[in-house]
Amino acid sequence: MLSSLSGKSVLVTGASSGIGLGIAGVFARQGARVAISARHADKLEAVAAGLRGEGLQVQAYAGDVADTASVRALVAAVAEAQGGIDVLCSNAGIFPSGTLDELTAEDWDQVLGINAKGSFLCVQACLPYLRKAEYGRVILTSSITGPVTGFPGWAHYGASKAAQLGFMRTAAIELARDNITINAVLPGNILTEGLLDMGQAYVDSMAASVPLKRLGSVEDIAYAALFFASQEAGYLTGQSLVIDGGQILPESLAALA
Ligand code: NAP
């Protein structure tokens, strides 16, 4: 049994849907005070109200993780309202598709700006508060795509997700001085709104390539993040955990037959 996150102040970015919303719900059900963030305020407030309807402590703060001023304002508002920040789940991300022939420099900058620079900006803005926390925790949402695997159409996305891990390894050393840990979850294919937008054919083909024969749930990722956030994970930093139903394991299609 892990010690409780009761009373801890948690910020989850990209939490108006999908994995971020799953993390927010699981952490709030553990007794944490959870600030959720995303760009579109109306949807964000609606999901926060839904979680509060379950009796959970969840508040919405709109912000864009790719924008320095927006991130600083968001983090300051959360820290002010929740009396600090103990745990940052840097989860906001986008995954538009484009082959090497199609990709523009603007596509590249947008994906790297949100997925990689966004993590850096959020960690940096949270640092003063994480330093004051009893124990500070950062959990990044990376991906198997980039750090472990490749997929046509996601060169820019894969680069952004690998960049998060390169950032994490040096950050882990710098943050260790303040007893702050930083680790990453690497989801496989998880059933979220973003994934469903890619169409049923994509969803079916992905499920068929997973040894456990199903796509992941947002809770599958949230419970891994919860472990990284726990007091008991205090000697674990700069590490990444693949949560993919075994998807990266088969050497060939024959292995799945
Ligand atoms: P999703 O359902 O599309 O949700 C993405 C969330 O991020 C939304 O709340 C979105 O809200 C927010 N967001 C996007 N751009 C933002 C920005 N610039 N600033 C702040 N918030 C922003 O996506 P998901 O599938 O849950 O993915 C979440 C994370 O998991 C991403 O980092 C993704 O790369 C990673 N991941 C997902 C899978 C998967 O299979 N689903 C697999 C591996 C990794 P707004 O649009 O309102 O801002």
List pLDDT tens digits, range 15-41.
999 999 999 999 999 999 999 999 999
Mean model confidence pLDDT for the chain: 96
- pTM here is 0.98
Q: How confident is the model at residue 1 (pLDDT cuts 50, 70, 90)?
A: confident
Would the pLDDT of 241 be above 80?
yes
Please indicate, yes or no, if residue 36 is contained in any of the structural domains. yes
94 lines ligand 1 (CB under 6 A): yes
Atom of ligand 1 nearest to the CA of 189: 40
Atom of ligand 1 nearest to the CA of 43: 47
Name the DSSP letter for residue 149. B
Q: How confident is the model at residue 51 (pLDDT cuts 50, 70, 90)?
A: very high
Question: Of 71-75, 128-132, 249-253, which gets the smallest average pLDDT?
Answer: 249-253
Phi and psi angles of residue 86, each rounded to the nearest 5 degrees, phi first: -95, -35
**Residues 52-70: tens digit of each pLDDT:** 999 999 999 999 999 999 9
Element (H, E) at 193: helix 193-196
CATH at 139 = 3.40.50.720
Give the span between the Cα atoms of 206 and 60, in whole angstroms. 33
Say whether 135 is catalytic: no
Pocket residue to mutate for ligand 1, from 11, 12, 13, 17, most atoms within 8 A of Cβ: 17
**What is the tally of structural domains in the chain?**
1
Please indicate, yes or no, if residue 186 is contained in any of the structural domains. yes
Please indicate, yes or no, if residue 4 is contained in any of the structural domains. no
Which residue out of 61, 129, 135, 157 is catalytically annotated?
157
Residue 194 is predicted with a pLDDT of 81
Phi and psi angles of residue 186, each rounded to the nearest 5 degrees, phi first: -120, 90
The residue type of 212 is: L
**Residues 75-120: tens digit of each pLDDT:** 999 999 999 999 999 999 999 999 999 999 999 999 999 999 999 9
Please indicate, yes or no, if residue 86 is contained in any of the structural domains. yes
Name the DSSP letter for residue 66. T
Please indicate, yes or no, if residue 211 is contained in any of the structural domains. no
Please indicate, yes or no, if residue 1 is contained in any of the structural domains. no
- 240-243/180-187 β-pairing: parallel
Pocket residue to mutate for ligand 1, from 11, 39, 160, 243, most atoms within 8 A of Cβ: 39
Share of the chain above pLDDT 70, in %: 100
Ligand 1 atom 31, closest CA: 93
Domain enclosing residue 136, as ranges: 9-190+218-244
Element (H, E) at 51: helix 41-53
Separation of CA 62 and ligand 1 centre (Å): 14
Please indicate, yes or no, if residue 40 is contained in any of the structural domains. yes
Separation of CA 113 and ligand 1 centre (Å): 13
Separation of CA 238 and ligand 1 centre (Å): 22
